[in-house]
Amino acid sequence: MNWNLTEADIDRITLGAGVLGTGGGGNPWLGALMAKAQLAEGRRLRVIGLEDLAPDAQVMALAGIGAPTVGVERMVEGSESARLIRVMEQHLGHRIDALIADEIGGSNAIAPMIAAARLGLPVVDADGMGRAFPEVQMTTFFINGHVAHPSGLTDFEGNTLIVTEARSPEMLERLLRAGTVAMGSAAYFTTAPMTGAFVRRHAVPGTLRLAHRIGDAVLAARAAKDDPVAAICGAMGASVLLRGKVTDVERRTEGGFLRAVLTLGGLDADRGRTVRLTVQNEYLAAWEDGRPLALTPDLICMVDSETGRPIGSEEVRYGLRVALLTAPAHPHLKTEAAKRVVGPEAFGLRAP
């Protein structure tokens, strides 16, 4: 596969990545603006398949890190992530052959494309989550033993650090998170390079295509005056948990994360039902009458019930009319090893 993205592709991927972001992953519309700016400057946004990766290819994962409430408000010029890759190459003493999304959710579907376009590299149609998760160690890469260093972190002013040794992926998360907070709660990070063979074995495959398919379904449904919510469900194998409106928002930014408890009240067929969501950047659990309706690692997505527009955890507000969806996580996130890192216990989830 050698897929050069068009503006139309970016629109679809952005929409789909917003849905797959499960509330987090960074504002996707900003990512779309940045990606289109790359095309306008004559650069290519080239996607290759997992099957195109040579076993010894050097692949680096890249993502934004920070609280989404902050990310939205920061100016992004787009060159900082490319510079970070160059700094890492210099530190490593070798070149990188391809980039991959750490998470397909939100702007993090696009983030590696911006850097890759500037560096003339392809991005791989895959990612380390098949969705978004709030913490650095929560990827199929780390779950399957990827080394925690060297990892790089940079902000929009050029402040940059390299973690040359982290004793565990959790320690890497602590160091990168602390650096991100010091940088003003918005930054880009990259983890250590992986071989093509490792990525082919452990990445969640085809997630750029999946995001594109979801976005395409939404746009087609809108054009045909069909229900975009049903279109999303069809495109990603999701089901509707509730249609209703937001009746309460309890939200704070703490330690570099957005944390919240959201309450949705059912409308129409769902009138009288109340669903509460536990949020750490992402929608991690949906509860009804104190019992879980859906739990991480399965996807919980919120979209505008009229338009299918994905709604990030930072923009949820009282009165929004929404559909709450769930879809099963990829089998890579359902292993015993994965459960310890991204399962409900890993987050200490309890009914709010």
Residues β-bridged to residue 286: 277, 294
Work out how close the CB of 76 gets to a copy of itself at its nearest, in angstroms, rounded to a whole number: 17
Q: How many CB atoms lie within 10 A of CB 254?
A: 9
DSSP, collapsed to helix, strand or coil, labels residue 189 as strand
Report the C-alpha gap between 43 and 114 in whole angstroms.
Answer: 10
**Residues from 277 through 306 that contact a copy of itself (CB under 8 A):** none
Confirm or reject binding of residue 162 to a copy of itself (CB under 8 A): yes
Work out how close the CB of 165 gets to a copy of itself at its nearest, in angstroms, rounded to a whole number: 4
Residue from the set 22, 137, 160, 305 that interacts with a copy of itself by CB under 8 A: 160
Work out how close the CB of 151 gets to a copy of itself at its nearest, in angstroms, rounded to a whole number: 9
Start-to-end CA span in the chain (Å): 46
Confirm or reject binding of residue 43 to a copy of itself (CB under 8 A): no
Work out how close the CB of 139 gets to a copy of itself at its nearest, in angstroms, rounded to a whole number: 19
Residue from the set 40, 42, 164, 254 that interacts with a copy of itself by CB under 8 A: 164
Report the C-alpha gap between 81 and 64 in whole angstroms.
Answer: 9
Report the C-alpha gap between 223 and 212 in whole angstroms.
Answer: 16
Residue from the set 7, 41, 73, 165 that interacts with a copy of itself by CB under 8 A: 165
Report the C-alpha gap between 240 and 259 in whole angstroms.
Answer: 24
Q: Which listed range, 62-70, 172-180, 215-223, 305-313, lies at the site for a copy of itself (CB under 8 A)?
A: 172-180
Work out how close the CB of 193 gets to a copy of itself at its nearest, in angstroms, rounded to a whole number: 17
Report the C-alpha gap between 181 and 84 in whole angstroms.
Answer: 18
Nearer to a copy of itself, 159 or 247 (CB): 159
Confirm or reject binding of residue 79 to a copy of itself (CB under 8 A): no
Q: Which listed range, 46-54, 180-188, 189-197, 325-333, lies at the site for a copy of itself (CB under 8 A)?
A: 180-188
DSSP, collapsed to helix, strand or coil, labels residue 18 as helix
Peptide linkage before 328 cis (omega within 30 of 0)? no
Work out how close the CB of 351 gets to a copy of itself at its nearest, in angstroms, rounded to a whole number: 31
Q: Which listed range, 41-49, 52-60, 95-103, 154-162, lies at the site for a copy of itself (CB under 8 A)?
A: 154-162
Confirm or reject binding of residue 169 to a copy of itself (CB under 8 A): no
Burial code (b: 16+ CB inside 10 Å, e: under 16) for 149-177 equals bbbbbbbbeeebbbbeebeebeebbebbb
Q: For residue 28, give the nearest of 237, 214, 173, 175 by alpha carbon.
A: 214
Residue from the set 61, 119, 183, 285 that interacts with a copy of itself by CB under 8 A: 183
Residue from the set 120, 158, 237, 331 that interacts with a copy of itself by CB under 8 A: 158
Residues β-bridged to residue 4: 46
Q: Which residues contact 174 (CB under 8 A, 6 or more apart)?
A: none
Work out how close the CB of 275 gets to a copy of itself at its nearest, in angstroms, rounded to a whole number: 35
Work out how close the CB of 177 gets to a copy of itself at its nearest, in angstroms, rounded to a whole number: 7
Report the C-alpha gap between 249 and 258 in whole angstroms.
Answer: 12
Work out how close the CB of 164 gets to a copy of itself at its nearest, in angstroms, rounded to a whole number: 5
Q: For residue 257, give the nearest of 154, 134, 108 by alpha carbon.
A: 134
Q: What are phi and psi of 158, to 5 degrees?
A: 100, -5
**Residues from 90 through 109 that contact a copy of itself (CB under 8 A):** 91
Confirm or reject binding of residue 181 to a copy of itself (CB under 8 A): yes
Binding residues (CB under 8 A) for a copy of itself: these are 87, 91, 154, 157-167, 171, 174-175, 177-179, 181-183
